[in-house]
Structure formats: structure tokens, C-alpha cells
């Protein structure tokens, strides 16, 4: 599970483009917290801290506790707006998580034992169909990664979603097929089956490109 990070924030009394520019000049990033049936709260966060957190990776899979002058709120990032020229953060949207909330998140896949994979040792090529998997998770149990072990994968074989153990509390959002995650192709390219899998999964990936979706946050209360 990814660790929860506490962020110290200040409440912004003024909103709008002028107020946001002023915050950025003072070394802050304007942000907003919304969701869970409550009014939005405009806040500002330290620029240097947010820059480092955003660009170290996994920002949208990280659970945050935002402390707004003593009021603590559990959130997850919904969107980061970047400057189109400088590629620096100019605004952040956080989604408020109620008690028992679940989310649909895209979690990165990590492959284990590549050096020991018999198919690769025999000259095969690793064909990664999915670099991440969309899963439904509880907000208090967001995994940082999904492990896929290649220790027994031979040339011409594939690993499907049914063959891996997802982190506790996680389940795939795709339930109508046993999709391929990775395979080892013989020298010369991917098999027709793998190419079909890539085409078939493209539509599903597009549906979840912006994650986590505010509409995907659900409360079990």
C-alpha cells in the first residue's frame, strides 16, 4: 500500500486568475478540494514540495491528508494543470474521500525475475501488453504497484490477469475477459493473439485515461 502523505495548506479567501497568479508569484501552487457532497475549498500549497511530489511519479496513486489550518481532509489527486511552456504545476484538483470510499485507479505493473525468465534466456522478446492495470481499490488500501512474476514464462506463453494475485482489496475493473498482461514472443515479433489483445484493450484503456475520475469515487456508507 502506498503511504499517506500529509500536506500543509493555507485556505485561499480570494479566487480567480488574478489571485492564482499572486499565489504563484509568492511560491505557492493554487489548488482546490471538492467532492463527497461538500462545498469546494480553495487552498494554496508550497510550490517546491508539490513540484517534487508530482514529478517523482505515482502522484495520482498517492493518498494525501491535507491539513488546512487544522482541518484535515483525506484526498487523492484528480488533475494537475501544467504550464504549457514551462511544464510546471499551476493548479491541482484534489478529490475529497469520504469514509469507506473506493476508487478506480490505474496501477503500474512491475515485472519480476526478467533475468531468470526462461523464455527471455532462450532468445525470446518480452511483449508487454499492459504497463498498468485499472483496478477498483479502497481509498485506505491503494497499492503502489502490481507485481507480475516472469520466473516460469516460456517462449510463446502469456500471463493473463487470472494468473496473477492482485494486491489485497483490489479487483480488476475489466471482468468480461481474461486479458493478457505480458507474453514472450519468439524472435521475429508478437503473435497474432497478442496483437489482437492490444487492439481489443485499446478502447478499454482510453475509457480510463484520466484517473482517478471523480465520478469513479464511491462511498460504501
Q: pLDDT for 140-180, tens place per residue?
A: 788 889 999 999 999 999 999 999 999 988 999 999 999 99
pLDDT tens-digit series, residues 53-73:
999 988 988 889 999 989 999
Instruction: List beta partners, residue 102.
Output: 138, 218
Strand pairing category for 171-172 and 71-82:
unpaired
Domains along the chain?
A: 5-97 (2.40.240.10), 103-207 (2.170.120.20)
Chain mean pLDDT for the chain: 86
Ramachandran class of 11: left when φ > 0, alpha when ψ lies in -120 to 50, beta otherwise? beta
pLDDT top residue among 61 and 111: 111
Amino acid at each position: 500500500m502506498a503511504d499517506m502523505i500529509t500536506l500543509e495548506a493555507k485556505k485561499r479567501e480570494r479566487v480567480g486568475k488574478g489571485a492564482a497568479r499572486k499565489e504563484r508569484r509568492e511560491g505557492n501552487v493554487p489548488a482546490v478540494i471538492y467532492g463527497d457532497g461538500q462545498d469546494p475549498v480553495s487552498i494554496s500549497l508550497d510550490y517546491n514540495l508539490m513540484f517534487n511530489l508530482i514529478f517523482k511519479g505515482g502522484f495520482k496513486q498517492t493518498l494525501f491528508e491535507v491539513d488546512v489550518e487544522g482541518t484535515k481532509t483525506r484526498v487523492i489527486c484528480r488533475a494537475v494543470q501544467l504550464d504549457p511552456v514551462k511544464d510546471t504545476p499551476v493548479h491541482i484538483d484534489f478529490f475529497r474521500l469520504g469514509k469507506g470510499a473506493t476508487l478506480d485507479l490505474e496501477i503500474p505493473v512491475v515485472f519480476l525475475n526478467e533475468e531468470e525468465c526462461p523464455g527471455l534466456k532462450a532468445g525470446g522478446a518480452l511483449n508487454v501488453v499492459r504497463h498498468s492495470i485499472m483496478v477498483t481499490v479502497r481509498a485506505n488500501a491503494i497499492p503502489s504497484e502490481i507485481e507480475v512474476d516472469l520466473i516460469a514464462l516460456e517462449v510463446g506463453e502469456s500471463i493473463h490477469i487470472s494468473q496473477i494475485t492482485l494486491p489485497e482489496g483490489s479487483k480488476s475493473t475489466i471482468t468480461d475477459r481474461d486479458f493478457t498482461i505480458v507474453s514472450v514472443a519468439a524472435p521475429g515479433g508478437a503473435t497474432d493473439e497478442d496483437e489482437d489483445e492490444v487492439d481489443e484493450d485499446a478502447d478499454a484503456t482510453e475509457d480510463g485515461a484520466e484517473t482517478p475520475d471523480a465520478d469513479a469515487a464511491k462511498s460504501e456508507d
